[in-house]
A and B are shown apart, each in its own frame.
Chain A
């Protein structure tokens, strides 16, 4: 019976994590402890080493460091400012103007870069101080920035959708990318509704309507940045290049634009490269240990055990999806997104596929669900960044975060129970 292994795995993981062992090592340790129950130590160590190395041996994963680097270059190269200005001219005159500017800027940023952390840093540091000047509370600004930057995880290009493609055993990245647009925009829209209500209640200022000529000018200014979207997404969908190649092209393009705008200097490059390497390698180490742990789980036949017990509770797809959503919401609070996707996709995907749920649809559900976890303590990388950039504390930001969480959960429920939101656009492209 595999129940013992399940218990060992979960207990040891929770203990390691709880006493403060970094997540990547907690995953590695609990995986190896579980493996040592059934095989000898030397083969267990060797297998683990091999799984970690071969886990990273993937051309698909290469897109992650490149998209992270492109995100940094977008920040440093003056592209982010141009996008934010465009968003400001578009949305500034709505109630709670700057909050909407933040959300739209995050979606635009998400449409050209692959990481939520980069968006939260760039937009929070530029818009945060201005929101405060105009009378918004620091905490509300931070809460909007934190939640809205996760929309970029659904709006392509998206590193986490690439990770899901890998974990699901090859769901098309192009299909996942197209599928992400509507759910990402829907989530952004939900956040805007809540922000507008909140701003009206608190009497936050409404910006002046921008002249059309100004809007037009800021749009022209942002075109080179937005053109990245055409190159990357267009290139991938048209089959001109793979996601990885597109990410490398994105780096070259943003590098070129940064120099063209004279905002980048050659001597800054090693620092920018190193920054993205260290950000990436944190993710890569998580990927390596998660893939090894995922292998241990399938070796111990843990997915079958979990699936049997879930299916014993109910065979109604709606109930199963709700249960999976609840489990993932719980997992998301203490686990970073990448390991969660790598570890739970092999467990849940077979179950939902058996019920006729499309793997593209499930991927979108999973990413949106875990996005909520990125904004919640105790482990929430976007929460940490957003709070850090705004110079406030986690406990203060929780109150304004709550209504925004509700907006995200409503979006999650809509996306879970209306597969068309995720699948309609891909179907137009023949996926």
Chain B
């Protein structure tokens, strides 16, 4: 699980690097080469979707998403664990519905309609596939968190 996190981190840093190069290339090609590049705009936008969702999954794995933790910290013992389990289950439900089920259906629809992007002509399904992938990652992390909650030796109890 930790290994997965590290690799995911490197992959995200790599995507950021490409996104940065892509926008810089756009300026360079317009002013220095005077032949504006046609794909950079689109490539950077699609990378942003990937970074947003995959990065959201990464941040979820680190327990970095901002929450109001007044109630969870006020409760003690069993009820605190129960509340944290409930929070994780709610997150899983949303992610399962919107990202995994909704995302897969979106991928399926765009794929069967053969929709491609305007500039790069890549199937839009490739862009949207990150929705279910991130969703599954988040669910994996949240199940890990729930298991850790029920294991008293572990200290990890972040939602």
A residues within 8 Å of B by Cβ? 16-25, 28-29, 32, 41-42, 44-50, 52-53, 56-59, 61-62, 65-66, 69, 241, 244-245, 247-249, 251-252, 270, 273-274, 276-278, 280-282, 284-285, 287-288, 292, 334, 336, 378-379, 381
Contacts and interface: CB of A to CB of B under 8 A. Distances in A.
Contact of B105 (A45, A273, A274, A276): A45
Contact of A274 (B12, B26, B87): B12
Contacts of A25: 65, 90-91, 94-95
A17 B12 CA distance: 28
Given A22-B67, A53-B106, A66-B23, A278 B97 contact: no
Contacts of A45: 97-98, 101-102, 105
Given A49-B128, A288-B53, A381-B66, 6 more contacts: A18-B68, A19-B87, A59-B41, A281-B58, A281-B59, A284-B52
A44 B105 CA distance: 11
* Residue from the set A69, A277, A336 with the largest chain B CB neighbour count within 10 Å: A277
A52 B98 contact: yes
B56 A24 contact: yes
A41 B91 CA distance: 17
A20 B19 contact: no
B18 to A, nearest CB: 11
B51 A280 contact: yes
A414 to B, nearest CB: 30
A42 to B, nearest CB: 7
Contacts of A19: 71-72, 83, 86-87
Interface of B: 9-10, 12-13, 15-17, 19-20, 23-24, 26-27, 41, 44-46, 48-49, 51-56, 58-59, 62, 64-72, 83-84, 86-87, 90-91, 93-95, 97-99, 101-103, 105-106, 109, 127-128, 130-131, 159
B56 A270 contact: no
A90 B109 CA distance: 61
Contact of B13 (A22, A50, A53, A270): A270
Contacts of A288: 52-53, 56
Contacts, number: 199
A245 B26 contact: yes
A251 B16 CA distance: 12
Contact of A16 (B41, B90, B127): B90
21 contacts: A19-B86, A20-B67, A20-B69, A20-B72, A20-B83, A22-B67, A25-B94, A28-B98, A41-B97, A47-B102, A53-B103, A53-B131, A66-B23, A247-B23, A274-B13, A277-B12, A277-B55, A278-B64, A282-B55, A282-B56, A287-B52
A252 B52 contact: no
B19 A46 contact: no
Pairs of residues from A and B, 4 with the lowest C-beta to C-beta distance, nearest first: A281-B55, A45-B102, A284-B52, A49-B102
A296 to B, nearest CB: 11
A269 B60 CA distance: 23
B26 to A, nearest CB: 7
Given A56-B52, A62-B19, A284-B55, A49 B13 contact: no
Nearest to A244: B23
Given A18-B71, A277-B55, A69 B16 contact: yes
Given A21-B90, A273-B17, A288-B52, A282 B68 contact: no
Contacts of B58: 277-278, 281
A50 B65 contact: no
Contacts of B131: 49, 52-53
Contacts of B130: 53
Contacts of B65: 22-25, 282, 285
A284 B56 CA distance: 8
Given A25-B90, A66-B20, A252-B24, A50 B66 contact: no
